[in-house]
Amino acid sequence: MKYIIFNWKSYLNFKESIKLSKIISEFKKSKKLKIISAPNNFFHLALSEKFKKNTYAAQNFDLDGRGASTGSLDISHLKENKIEYTIIGHSEMRSNHGENDKIVSKKLELSINNKLIPIVCIGESLKIYKSKKTKKYLRSQINTIFKRTQKYDQIILAYEPLWSIGTGLTPELSEIDDICKFLSKILEKYTFKKINILYGGSVNLSNISEILKLQFVNGVLVGSASTNSSFIKYFK
């Protein structure tokens, strides 16, 4: 099973989100692919009601969303809207909203307690990559986010090198596979019922086929390319 996650960010308006959701709803059910869409959080309820066969993820939720917290999104709202997955620790939440690995760890625990499947994002900066300290940095992220005393059920881990997101730059295929193999190895120290490791970062029609063939890659997290209907139809 390969996971294909479309992170539409804030690129699409409601009408455009309906158009792409309709295309996905017409796909034949597959045992080889699991397609998950992450639309703008405001659209969840309407889309999940209109396209009941589709699977949706939240792009984010807030730790202090319940009660007197203007503008926040509480995790309970996701469950009410029939959301099954949630992205945690995306690079844009880290760079634009000050999210760090300790906050990601708290969100991970909250998502598990609320029976949502977390899509945890990690990745290194260009400076770290060039200094050949990627594995050391990723190990540190894993050790901060995950707890060895915790028994985890289903987790999706997305490796997204920060320097690759939205830039058109990607690591070599061998590098992607090696990092995903490394992550699967260090995660053996933790108790998982099931974990899938994805790659994200400038995934597009020209490279997705080769990325999905990699031995240690269980799928992809796709940003702007997934807002194009021709990309969506690739999986039909």
* Residue 30 domain-assigned (yes or no): no
* Residue 48 domain-assigned (yes or no): no
Domain count, the chain: 1
* Residue 18 domain-assigned (yes or no): no
Could you report the per-residue pLDDT of 16-68, keeping only the tens digit for each? 999 999 999 999 888 899 999 999 988 988 999 999 999 999 999 998 767 76
Residue type, 119: I
**CATH code (residue 211):** 3.20.20.70
* Residue 19 domain-assigned (yes or no): no
* Residue 135 domain-assigned (yes or no): yes
Per-residue model confidence as pLDDT tens for the chain (236 residues)? 999 999 999 999 999 999 999 999 999 888 899 999 999 988 988 999 999 999 999 999 998 767 766 767 888 888 888 899 999 999 999 999 999 999 999 999 999 999 999 999 999 999 999 999 999 999 999 999 998 778 888 899 999 999 998 888 889 999 999 999 999 999 988 888 888 999 999 999 999 999 999 999 999 999 999 999 999 999 98
pTM listed for this prediction: 0.95
Domain containing residue 89: 54-61+71-233
Active site residues per annotation: 90, 160
* Residue 28 domain-assigned (yes or no): no
* Residue 138 domain-assigned (yes or no): yes
* Residue 49 domain-assigned (yes or no): no
